[in-house]
Structures are given as C-alpha cells and as structure tokens.
Structure 1
C-alpha cells in the first residue's frame, strides 16, 4: 500500500486552481508548477526574467522543504518559458541554486503562462 500525502506550505504561493502544491507518494514528491508569485501577496514579482526565475526557485524550495527535502533532491525539473531566448538566463540562475549532479531537465517554449508569467517550473524529487 502506498503512503500518499498532500504537501502544503504558507511559505509558497497557494494553489490558484484545482491542484495541490505537491503530492508525496512514499519517498517521491511530485511538485506542481510554480510561477513567480510572491506568497504573501499572490502577485507576480516585478523585475526581469532573472528575478522571476529566482522567485520560482524560491517557491519550489519552500515546497521541497515542506515535503522534507530540498532542491538537491529534485531528480526531474521541467521549465516552461514564454521566450526560449531566456534559456541562457535559466542556466545562469539555476547554477546559483543547484550543484552537480544536476537533475534531468526539460526546457519547453510555450505561448502563455498563468497570470502573464514568463516562467513556470515543476518537478519530481526523491527523498
């Protein structure tokens, strides 16, 4: 029998739809997509794409912590960008948050994201 738990923290943005921030099944945590919302205000952070990327990593970090892990436990990261020319910025900022071995990753260009965000990320971590 699996051990399934819904993960929630007030230190990350609340869900803006019919989903949980994360779901933990045994030692695997499935992180829902995070956009660059400020948890206290639920508004998009102001600033360039690097500021938005940092906010997303900060939000993911808080959900990871609430699940008993941290960013280093992420084994798969999906990055959605409205402008793939920001790919180099993603790599630069990601290097501030992750060390080798890096997680498996995909970067996907999309036409639009919720609330007009330029970046969204989701992932899977194993604790």
Structure 2
C-alpha cells in the first residue's frame, strides 16, 4: 500500500494549524489553501488585492515546485475571493502568472477570509516537469 507523503518547503509559509502545506499520493499533489502570507510569516492582508493574489499564487507554486511539479502540471485550482468585484482582477493576474497553462478552475466569491485576507487559493497537481 502506498503511503501519503507530507510536502513542506521554506519557500511558502508554515502551516498555522494541524495540516500540511500539501500532501502527495503517488503522482497526485494536493496543495492546502494558501493566503497571501509571505514565507517568513509576514502578513499582506493590509496590502492591495493584487499583492495578496500574487503572494498566494507564489505560495501555491512554491509548494507545487517542492513536490516536483510546476504550473503546467496543475490540474485544478480553487480560489476563494472576497467580493465578486475582485473576480476580474483575479482573472487578469492568474492569466499572467499561469501563461499558457490553463488548469480547471473554480472561483468562489465569499464574504470574508481568515486574518482579513481577500484571497485564498488551493490546487491539485501531478508530479513531473
């Protein structure tokens, strides 16, 4: 029986609770929800939406990279966005960061997130480069 592997990197913030940055089973990688927290634990919740999105995406990509994958191997992304009016801004930044990679994606408008953040992103990827 294959075992579940915990994925961890110093290039993304440490978990603030009882969870892993990601888990992997065989070639599947499941990235936990990432806020716009910097790897050193500094919060960006008081910074502009764009800054929060870019940091959250950087965190997702850092965890995916540490698992032996990359943006073109991300199968699915779920983004929780405070305020439906931020959807377009999120989409523009997402397209810039992902380029030609077009994972399946769900954007969920929500009323609020932990620590006052405006974005949280999780992902599912497969290993390989």
TM-score range normalised by the length of the shorter chain: over 0.9
- Residue 40 (structure 2) pairs with residue 40 (structure 1): yes
Residue 46 of structure 1 deviates from its aligned partner by 4.6
**Deviation of 1:69 (Å):** 0.8
Deviation at 1:101, TM superposition (A): 4.5
Distance across 2 between alignment mates of 1:71 and 1:43: 24
Unaligned runs of at least 5 residues, structure 1: none
Say whether residues 1:9 and 2:9 are aligned partners.
Answer: yes
For normalisation by structure 2, the TM-score amounts to 0.92
1:1-127, aligned counterparts within 5 Å?
1-44=1-44, 46-127=46-127
The count of aligned residue pairs is 127
Q: Secondary structure at the match of 2:91?
A: helix
Instruction: Give the deviation of 1:98 after TM superposition.
Output: 1.1
Q: Is the 8 A contact 2:33 2:121 kept in 1?
A: yes
SS at match of 1:79: strand
The CA deviation at 1:45 is 5.5
Q: Is the 8 A contact 1:38 1:45 kept in 2?
A: no
Q: Distance in 2 between matches of 1:38 and 1:101?
A: 24
Relative to the length of structure 1, the TM-score reads: 0.93
Task: Please tell me the root mean square deviation across aligned C-alpha atoms, in Å.
Answer: 1.3
Structure 2 segments unaligned to the other structure (5+ residues): none
SS at match of 1:36: coil
CA distance in 1: counterparts of 2:37 and 2:46, whole angstroms? 10
1:5-56 alpha-carbon deviations (Å, 9 max, x no partner) = 1000111011011110000000000000000001113322653111110001
